[in-house]
Chains A and B, each alone.
Chain A
Amino acid sequence: EPEVTQTPSHQVTQMGQEVILRCVPISNHLYFYWYRQILGQKVEFLVSFYNNEISEKSEIFDDQFSVERPDGSNFTLKIRSTKLEDSAMYFCASRQGGYTFGSGTRLTVV
């Protein structure tokens, strides 16, 4: 069964630092997404990416966030200057019909 792979599984960072979360979507999928889930809360949409550009972003996805597909296989989420409230599980997903989610990166900002 094809998988979406995310690294690292856990990242601890100091407030104000930059972090890059990495994802390898399923190779023949065309739509890519980042979602986040604050502990115990629902899964929230951050951004969708299609044809090498952002197709939609939520109000959470402010100027501190950016996404890239640098080499045709990786899909990254960068947070430029992390805040405490950025602590969450970040899920990458790719889609062909239903979404396939990666196992997530737990980001802890201290």
Chain B
Amino acid sequence: GQQVMQIPQYQHVQEGEDFTTYCNSSTTLSNIQWYKQRPGGHPVFLIQLVKSGEVKKQKRLTFQFGEAKKNSSLHITATQTTDVGTYFCAGPLTSYDKVIFGPGTSLSVIP
């Protein structure tokens, strides 16, 4: 079945450093979604990428969808303590399919 993998599992950075998490799917995805979950909280939708090679920015966050629509990345520039949490990528096979979540990358930011 479809699998979604993420690396790294954990990342500890000094405040102000950059952070990147990588997502890979075993199958081509119709879109890729990214979610952030704060400790004790619920997943919060960040963004959806649909087109092959698409790049989107949200302030210090840059999201990229690979050309083959099987991989994606999230890059945070100059991390802040408010960036702490687990970042999940998730993707459906088709537009109407359930999303399968990756295992997440847990980000810690040391002030």
Residue positions of A touching B, CB distance < 8 A? 31, 33, 35, 41-45, 48, 56, 89, 91, 97-104
Task: Give chain B nearest CB distance to A67 CB in angstroms.
Answer: 13
- Give the segment of B17-25, B53-61, B77-85, B99-107 that binds chain A: B99-107
Contacts of B42 in A (CB 8 A): 89, 91, 101-104
- Tell me what chain A mostly uses at the interface: helix, strand, loop, or mixed: strand
Q: Which residue of A lies closest to B43 (CB)?
A: A101
What CA separation (Å) do A35 and B100 show in the bound complex? Answer: 10
Contacts of A98 in B (CB 8 A): 33, 45, 47-48
Task: Give chain B nearest CB distance to A5 CB in angstroms.
Answer: 12
Residue positions of B touching A, CB distance < 8 A? 33, 35, 41-45, 47-48, 88, 90, 96-104
What CA separation (Å) do A45 and B103 show in the bound complex? Answer: 12
Cβ contact within 8 Å between B48 and A48: no
Contacts of A97 in B (CB 8 A): 48
What CA separation (Å) do A50 and B102 show in the bound complex? Answer: 24
Q: Which residue of A lies closest to B95 (CB)?
A: A97
Contacts of B48 in A (CB 8 A): 97-98
Cβ contact within 8 Å between B33 and A42: no
